Structure 1
Amino acid sequence: MTEQLTLIARLTAKPEHAEALGNGLHDLISPTLKEEGSIGYVLHRDNDDPNVWILYETWRSRADLDLHFAQPYTKAMLSRFPELLTKDMELTFATAVG
């Protein structure tokens, strides 16, 4: 049996691209939630730093997350990160324990 996987992604935008990053991430919500292995996909904005966006994602399995990263819309957004981000996105992978 595979375990659900949670991914928390923290993305720090260049100040001049904060809105473009947020809009691009927002556009991923609908198609991502239609993916078979997607359980949850929620976009947040940091209360203290408007340049920071946080994705809280829950997937049926790591294989489903890997399929998500292979989707054309995900690849298109990832290709924009060098232009939009100040640094690489920070990824935390977690599994519920209780």
Structure 2
Amino acid sequence: MIPDEPTPAPSPDSPRNAVDDFPDRTSRGRSVILVLAVIFAAVGLLSLAAILATAFLQGTVWPGFVLATYFCLPIAFLLMASLLIWSAVSRRRS
């Protein structure tokens, strides 16, 4: 087979790989952590924007926005860092 030649389509008689039938648990776990990290980051950044807008309008900042910013942004950072470490470890193993 030369590099520019397309790969042949599998025949119906060829055995299927049993791994293809089941979804990968680690990829599902990574996607859940990724979605959680994005949600936490979005909530934290929206809370920060609300704090800045309230301060710009010289209003009283609701403490819930401050708490959301204090907790959501570090949690999102830790989740993203854990995804990076998880990816590096899995690449090292393969």
TM-score (norm 2): 0.31
- 1 or 2, which has the higher helix percentage? 2
TM-score (norm 1): 0.30
**Higher RCO, 1 vs 2 (CA within 8 Å, ≥6 residues apart):** 1
- 1 or 2, which has the higher strand percentage? 1
